[in-house]
Amino acid sequence: MWGKGLVAGLKVTWGHWFGKKETVYYPEERLPMTERFRGGHLVLDDKKCIACKLCAMGCPNAALDLTVSVDEDKKRHMDSYKHQIGRCMYCDLCIEACPVKALSWDKNYEGSSYFKEDMTYDAVVEAKNRRGSNE
């Protein structure tokens, strides 16, 4: 009979009207991110880093801008590690390219900012700050 489908549809929506809700109260309740989640800022372990620049070479979109200096013992140092989030595709190729596993994501998914300049940051400075706050 015509109208049977309409009533069935009404029943479905009626059931959901009082049913469990799928969304969460966001700022109060945050979904946990998974182990392999790609996003946020790059965490550089500057103790491990050998400044080989392989991550920048692996980047498809030239999002990484590194400056490396060589000291008198022929040891390479990472002076700055500029990550332009605006160019980043979060493809994970830089992290996979790292031979010493010195890179990881900080899994922060609240990456919006008011100014475009805030989208570029220096991972070396962040690593120093992190160490400073830990000590």
Partner 1 sequence: MHSGILYSTAQALREILMSLVGIPIIVDIIMTVICATILLLIMATSALVFTLGERKICAFIQVRIGPNRVGPGGLLQSVADMIKLMDKEDIVPKGIDKWLWVLSPILLLVPSALIYAFFPFDDGVILADVNVGLFLLIAITSQTVLPFLMGGYASNSKYSMIGGMRTVAQMLGYEVPMVFALMGIVMLTGSLKMSAIVEAQSNVWFIVLQPLAFLIYIVTALLESNRPPFNLVEGESEIIAGPFTEYTGMRWALFFLAEFSNLMCIGILTTTLFLGGWHGPDFLPGFCWFWIKTFICVLFYQWVGWTFPRLRIDTMLSFGWKVLLPIALINVLLTGVGIYIYNIM
Partner 2 sequence: MAQTEKYVLNMGPQHPSTHGVLQVQVELDGENIVGAKPIMGYLHRGIEKLMESRTYTQCVPYTDRLDYVSAMNNNLGFCMAVEKLASIEVPRRAEYIRVICAELNRIASHHVFIGSLTNDLGSATGMIYAFRDREKILDLFNIICGARMTAHYIRIGGVAADAQEEFLKGAQEFVNYVPAMLDEYDRIFTGNEIFQARMKGTSIITRETALKYSMSGPNIRASGVDYDIRKIDKYGAYGDFDFEIPLGEQGDNWDRYIVRLKEVQQSANIIQQALDNMPDGPVMAKVPKVLKPPKGDAYHRVENTRGELGFYIVSDGSTKPYRVHIRRPSFVNLQALDSMCQGMLLADAVTAFATIDPLMGEVDC
Query: What is the contact surface with partner 2 in residues (CB under 8 A)?
Result: 2-6, 8-9, 11-13, 22, 33-39, 58-60, 89-93, 96, 105
Binding residues for partner 1, rule: CB under 8 A, are: 6, 9-10, 12-14, 16-23, 25
For the CB of residue 135, give the shortest distance to partner 2 in the complex, in Å. 31
- Residue 29: CB minimum distance to partner 1, A: 11
**Residue 20 touches which of partner 1, partner 2, none (Cβ within 5-8 Å per kind):** partner 1
What is the token pair recorded at 63?
A: 């999002």
If residue 97 lies in a helix (H) or strand (E), which one and from where to where?
A: helix 93-97
C-alpha to C-alpha distance for 127 and 117, rounded to whole angstroms: 19
**Side-by-side strand order, sheet with 76-84:** 64-70, 76-84, 120-122
